Amino acid sequence: MESMRSTDDLVGNGRAGRPPRVLVVTASVGAGHNSVARAITETLAPSGRVDVTVVDAMAMVPWWFRMMYADCFMLGMSRFPSLYALGYVLSDRPHTSGRGALERMCMAYERFATRRLQEYLRANRFDLIVHTHFLVPPVAAWMRRHGQLDTPQFVTVTDIETHRLWYCQDVDRWFLPSAYTAGIFRRWGVPEQRLTVSGIAVHSKWTAAVDRPRIYREWNLPADKAIVLLSGGTDYVCGPVVKIAHGICRACPQAYVVVLAGRNKGLLETLTHRPEPAGRVRAISFTDRGHELAEVCSLMITKPGGVTTAECLAKGTPMVLLNPVPGHEGGNAQYLACNEAAVISRGADEVIAMVARLLDHPPLLRQMADNARRLYRPGREIITEAVLQAVGRGA
């Protein structure tokens, strides 16, 4: 593995006297990668110290590759989780450094599909690239080794349980969710000096001070009830969410359930036309104010995505993790459960029973909240400060 420059000497003060240009590369494969990109960008851009550009890799690849790469991922996660889990295990190489033959073939295929993005990188002389997804780092590394690019790159990892797809031999600095994740990278042969346990970057609103009475008032929430926040999940989810919401109300008289239905019109309509008799279920359509609801909730029921759970850690919100798909979701869930910030459930009936048990034991909920706060790391602040330091614009 070739030697790398110190991150203190990567860029300097831009090229030809202009402000340093930072490119943030994300990919619309699930929502988490874009959320991290926004968190980083919306912190860097207002500083005025760098010129920040965001690129979605999925917008710069052919339609057939986008369909295979993004759509098949979502289909596998939602409709065929067992098949997805099998593919995850067969394609992972958790204890091996260097590249295997299959990996090299996949990388060649991805280089072919990202030719437009490569042209963009060659035409725009960025001073630093920050990746929030694993597709482009190996492409940029190949360009560097072949003299087509001289831009250093940082990668911020968005899952605690990290698949081999994240591995790249030519990354100047890695930002990782946890010490557990750092252990995976060490087994891959990544030098210790390139690893930073930063946590996952979440938007500043998740850590900003809020007015709790205002939240109760504006959202018309009952201050005398335990607010249970239930994520509606992806668009295909409907029936289990309704069953869980109504089941919690029946089992927990002290609970008020807020369902984050997002853009799932079917779920919204179902909850509207089948209201809980006691009026303790409320469906919320897509909102960018989820942090306010998380602030006042007693616990959250959600899938164990990396960014969603990082947001819960930022708020100190206990989690009930619903049906983790084996792979990165399963690994995320196990890590959080082992650290007693979450419990894992399988199926609607078990979720209802777990929520009832937790709401009946407030000291246990408080301990889970404390554990969640302990696990939180200020990823956004650590990553953005490292970026500014690397381009010579640090404090």
Q: Where are the domains of the chain?
A: 7-204+378-390, 209-375
SS3 320: strand
Q: How many CB atoms lie within 10 A of CB 360?
A: 12
pLDDT of 6: 43
Q: What is the residue-wise DSSP string for 330-348?
A: HHHHHHHHHTTSEEEE-SH
pLDDT of 100: 77
pLDDT of 25: 98
pLDDT of 101: 80
Residues of the chain below pLDDT 70: 1-17, 94, 232-239, 274-278, 394-395
**Quick one: 210 exposed, middle or buried, by C-beta within 10 A (0-12, 13-18, 19+)?**
middle
pLDDT of 72: 77
Q: How far apart are CA 19 and CA 230, in angstroms?
A: 44
Angle, alpha carbons 368-322-206 (nearest 5°): 55
pLDDT of 275: 61
209-375 matches 7-204+378-390 in CATH topology: yes
- pLDDT tens by residue, 62-118: 999 998 887 777 777 777 788 888 888 878 876 777 777 878 888 899 999 999 999
**Quick one: 193 exposed, middle or buried, by C-beta within 10 A (0-12, 13-18, 19+)?**
exposed
Q: What pTM, to 2 d.p., does this model score?
A: 0.90
Question: Per the CATH hierarchy, to which homologous superfamily does domain 209-375 belong?
Answer: Glycogen Phosphorylase B; (3.40.50.2000)
Average pLDDT across the chain, whole number: 89
pLDDT of 259: 92
Question: CATH top-level class for 7-204+378-390?
Answer: alpha beta
pLDDT of 177: 97
